[in-house]
Amino acid sequence: MAEAFKLGIVVPCYNEEEVLPETTKELTRILSGLVNDDKITNDSKIIFVDDGSKDKTWSMIDEFSQENNFVSGVKLSRNFGHQGALLAGVTSATKSSDAIVTIDADLQDDVNAIPKMVDKFIEGNEVVYGVRNNRDTDSAFKRSTAEGFYKFMGWLGVKLVPDSADFRLMSKRASEVLLSYKETNLFLRGIVPMVGFKSAKVYYARKERFAGTSKYPLRKMLKFAMDGITSFSIVPIKMIMGLGFFIVLISIALLIYTIVQKIHGNVVTGWSSMMISIWALGGVQLICISVIGEYVGKIFSEVKNRPRFTIERDIYTEKTLKEEK
């Protein structure tokens, strides 16, 4: 049997006071079972990352960490967003964990898939993706847009794992490689497959949110999708060039058509056609400028090289140092 290893479970949290007690209970149950099976060591930890919550999330994490040996936490100085919080947790966990699982706090991802991930890791896989086996819990709109997004990203040449989010296991080595990617515009679903190493998938049924409200409304989902597209492909800019050539060809065709009509004396002065052309071309130009502006904005964010997160307190490191003493 393989030697037991230290597991860290990173859980980003933003205003999760309603679900936190149940999440702690469920993850503690999973860790206890894995310890009893001699698969992980008893110093394995749940690392809750408080992403600038405005409710009692951090005080609850602090309290649970004193009552439960499995629980620790990382408090960020302000809200850095879901991806930044995930990366902060992985950064902290990688210091002393042999493998890291990332999972959201809302319990929509099935915690019972974690032991299966651990088994895949023991078999030699360094990245194990949690993949949904269906989208029955999604609305028709969300289901269709998600499927369309994955197909579009694939067409752009971006390697994503369809129906997988940020529920995954990574080895210490894979996590260190992930942390070596220094971009500010984070889209971890696209970065992780670039890490490489032997990988596997674990399928699970996604549940309804246990409590609280979604932290990803439509506006944030659209921004997240745009970040994914513009962070990994320049195809949209190439498409703009193609669109420009297409419009030029249309204009040449219309010019030839106009000359032919003039020769035959069929010229009709039309205000409507002129206005439609102006508005259509103006709209296309604004869209093109916006797409280019999105890329320029990304460059602007990257060159400033600001920190992707700031840790105010790290209970995980504090606990680890005490245990080592």
DSSP state of 168: E
Examine the pLDDT at 316 and tell me if it is beyond 90: no
Q: Is residue 179 part of a domain?
A: yes
Quick one: how many helices (H) and strands (E) in the chain?
A: 11, 8
Residues 173 and 280 in one domain: no
Residues 151 and 268 in one domain: no
Residues 298 and 192 in one domain: no
- Per-residue confidence at 106, pLDDT binned at 50, 70, 90? confident
Strands 71-76 and 311-314 turn out to be antiparallel
Give the CA distances from residue 115 to residues 66, 71, 175, 256, in Å, rounded to whole numbers and listed in that order. 25, 18, 19, 69
Q: Is residue 230 part of a domain?
A: no
Residues in CB range of 176: below 8 A, 6 or more apart: 94
Q: Pick the residue with more confidence: 162 or 85? A: 85
pTM: 0.69
Q: Is residue 219 part of a domain?
A: no
Residues 113 and 253 in one domain: no
Residues 149 and 187 in one domain: yes
For residue 254, what are the domain limits?
A: 235-304
Structural domain total, the chain: 2
Residues 15-29: tens digit of each pLDDT: 888 889 999 999 999
Q: Is residue 129 part of a domain?
A: yes
Examine the pLDDT at 7 and tell me if it is beyond 80: yes
Q: Is residue 118 part of a domain?
A: yes
Residues 157 and 89 in one domain: yes
Examine the pLDDT at 126 and tell me if it is beyond 70: yes
Residues 114 and 209 in one domain: yes
Tokens 């090289």 found at: 305
Residues 300 and 313 in one domain: no
Residues 300 and 312 in one domain: no
Residues 177 and 255 in one domain: no
Residues 111 and 259 in one domain: no
Q: Is residue 220 part of a domain?
A: no
CA 60, CA 24: separation in Å to the nearest integer? Answer: 10
Q: CB neighbours (10 Å) of residue 301? A: 13
Q: Is residue 313 part of a domain?
A: yes
Residues 197-256: tens digit of each pLDDT: 888 888 888 776 555 555 555 565 666 566 655 565 656 666 766 676 676 667 667 667
Q: What percent of the chain has pLDDT over 90?
A: 14
Q: Is residue 271 part of a domain?
A: yes
Residues 284 and 178 in one domain: no
Domain CATH code at residue 91? 3.90.550.10
